[in-house]
């Protein structure tokens, strides 16, 4: 029996521990069920560590694969450059069915506590060792465009084909997310879910979503990229029904303190877990 991806993707929001760890500027997802957000700094986005199943072909729609050693970056697009040896601007990987344009209509909408979010999943692939299993997600930006096949990202002004990001992880500070491959080792297991407020996705007609991400900048935490590819994906249409949350979850929340983030628990514990 297939385990519903819908329920798994939301488990992190319902079964969340007040012991979630985060420090200034860091969203720490290196423990099972850890969450960060929502907060002003992250534009009210929610990030969570999860283990969605199943994640094989036919159940998910990969739209961006990245691979490099040390640092890696790139964005989804169906555009290919003229050089057959280097068809992408950065570290994206072929084939077309794994790195391509993404219609906004293909991104599921989930309602959490009365707020609508667009749902994105991330699967990381690192060496499963104490030294190398960590990975840092250092930059995450999402762009919305009526045009297809965008192909020019500016690393200085952070614009894609002169578009300004509708969501930026670094809005308000230099923030990053700490991930642990050891929690769900193996390709296709799923590691993180990102819920981005649907209110940011505006515009008439057909819109395309472009997601730029950069990994591996935090070498001091042994969180640089190695081994296999990182993959962003969305769930299939058959598993995108809006969930009915009857009990309000009380996730640990990242709040803006000075130039960084600090974890603030928004409830008093009635008992020790």
Asked if the model's pLDDT at residue 13 lies above 80, the reply is no
Mean pLDDT of 31-41: 75
Per-residue pLDDT at 227: 63
| 107-164 pLDDT, tens digit each | 999 988 889 999 999 999 876 666 678 899 999 999 999 999 999 999 999 999 999 9
Q: Give exposure, 135-149, as e/b (b: 16+ Cβ within 10 Å).
A: bbbbbbbbbbbeeee
Calculate ∠ Cα 14-249-244, nearest 5°: 70
Q: Give exposure, 50-61, as e/b (b: 16+ Cβ within 10 Å).
A: bbbbbbeeebbb
Cβ neighbours for 80, distance < 8 A, ≥ 6 positions apart: 87, 88
Per-residue pLDDT at 255: 29
| 169-193 pLDDT, tens digit each | 998 788 899 998 888 755 555 689 9
Measure the CA–CA gap between 106 and 186, rounded to whole angstroms: 26
Asked if the model's pLDDT at residue 203 lies above 70, the reply is yes
Asked if the model's pLDDT at residue 40 lies above 60, the reply is no
Mean pLDDT of 205-225: 83
Per-residue pLDDT at 83: 85
Counted residue by residue, the chain has a size of 273
Q: How confident is the model at residue 269 (pLDDT cuts 50, 70, 90)?
A: very low
Most confident region among 15-19, 79-83, 142-146 by mean pLDDT: 142-146
Residue 131 half-sphere exposure toward CB, CA atoms < 13 A: 2
**Bridge-partner residues for 27, per DSSP?**
22, 177
Asked if the model's pLDDT at residue 46 lies above 60, the reply is yes
């Amino acid at each position: 029996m297939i385990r519903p991806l819908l329920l798994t993707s939301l488990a992190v929001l319902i079964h969340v521990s007040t012991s979630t760890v985060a420090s200034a500027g860091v969203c720490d997802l290196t423990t099972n069920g850890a969450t960060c957000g929502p907060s002003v700094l992250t534009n009210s986005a929610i990030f969570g560590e999860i283990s969605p199943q199943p994640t094989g072909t036919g159940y998910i729609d990969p739209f961006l694969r990245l691979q490099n050693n040390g640092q890696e970056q790139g964005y989804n697009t169906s555009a290919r450059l003229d050089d057959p040896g280097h068809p992408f601007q950065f570290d994206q990987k072929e084939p077309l069915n794994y790195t391509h344009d993404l219609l906004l209509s293909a991104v599921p909408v989930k309602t959490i506590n009365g707020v609508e979010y667009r749902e994105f999943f991330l699967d990381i692939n690192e060496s499963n060792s104490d030294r190398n299993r960590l990975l840092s997600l250092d930059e995450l930006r999402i762009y919305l465009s009526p045009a297809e096949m965008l192909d020019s990202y500016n690393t200085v002004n952070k614009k894609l084909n002169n578009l300004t990001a509708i969501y930026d992880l670094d809005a308000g500070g230099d923030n990053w997310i700490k991930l642990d491959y050891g929690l769900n080792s193996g390709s296709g297991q799923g590691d993180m879910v990102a819920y981005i407020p649907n209110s940011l996705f505006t515009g008439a007609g057909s819109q395309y979503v472009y997601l730029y991400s950069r990994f591996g900048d935090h070498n001091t935490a042994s969180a640089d990229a190695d081994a296999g590819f990182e993959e962003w994906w969305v769930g299939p249409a058959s598993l995108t029904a809006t969930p009915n949350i009857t009990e309000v979850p009380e996730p640990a929340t990242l709040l803006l303190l000075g130039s960084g983030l600090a974890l603030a628990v928004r409830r008093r514990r009635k008992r020790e877990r």
